[in-house]
Amino acid sequence: TTHRVGYFVGSLSADSINRTLSKALIRLAPQNLEFTEIPIKDLPLYNHDYDPDYPAEGRALKEAISSVDAVLFVTPEYNRSIPGALKNAIDWASRPWGDNSFAHKPSAVIGTSPGSIGTAVAQQSLRSVLSFCDSPQMNAPEGYIQFKPGLFTDTGEVTDESTAQFLRDFMQEFQAFIIRVRTVLPALPA
């Protein structure tokens, strides 16, 4: 069976290394995972005054999440947490109250940074947000990718075979995780 994965890139930068990592992950993923980016850059800053009448950007975000089987977060670390733009998108998707788009939606988290801990602290912070949002998360493997110039080509080819194998395994495990969650919770809407 094919599963649809919606992916979030936590960076708005035009030359984001996390966007390049997302391209690498898609290249190396099992054939029967299908990917669509869930864009976050045009969302206004959320506040709950929007709840009674969500604007088109907020509705599109929620529809994009409900149309996929799982979500993948590929994010930089900003000041030991996630970028505000990504947190804003999660806040939008988690509301209006009682209509949390992440409930029971399987997720995985990965990211890259030039620093030696490779976004580990941001991922921990994101995991606690996703826990509160009731998203079943892949616990292992974890993906802390230290970025070095030349590790990826612009189109997401991985130049180092051990990193490529690691990312291939990560996506294979994610596929297995999606299947497990869907088996345990079969009554969930797709």
Q: What residues make contact with ligand FNR under the rule CB under 6 A?
A: 11, 13, 16-18, 76-80, 113-115
Distance of alpha carbon 187 from alpha carbon 190, whole angstroms: 9
Residue 119 Cβ, how far from ligand FNR at the closest point, in Å?
Answer: 6
Token look-up 């969930």 returns 188
Give the separation between CA 37 and CA 17, rounded to whole angstroms: 16
Smallest distance from ligand FNR to CB 74, Å:
8
> For residues 121 and 164, which CB has a smaller minimum distance to ligand FNR in the complex?
121
Q: Which of 41, 102, 110, 39 is nearest to 74 (CA)?
A: 110
String of DSSP letters for 106-154: -EEEEEEESSTTTTHHHHHHHHHHHHHTT--B--SS--EEE--TTSB-T
Q: How far is the CB of 186 from ligand FNR (least distance, A)?
A: 36
Nearer to ligand FNR by C-beta: 85 or 93? 85
Cα distances (angstroms) measured from residue 164 to each of 27, 50, 134, 151, 161: 10, 43, 31, 10, 5
Q: How far is the CB of 92 from ligand FNR (least distance, A)?
A: 20
Q: By C-beta, is 18 or 163 nearer to ligand FNR? A: 18
Provide the minimum distance between the beta carbon of 148 and ligand FNR in the complex, in angstroms, as a whole number: 12
Q: State how far Cα 117 lies from the chain centre.
A: 19
Cβ distance to ligand FNR smaller for residue 3 or 87 = 87
**In terms of CB distance, is 88 or 172 closer to ligand FNR?**
88
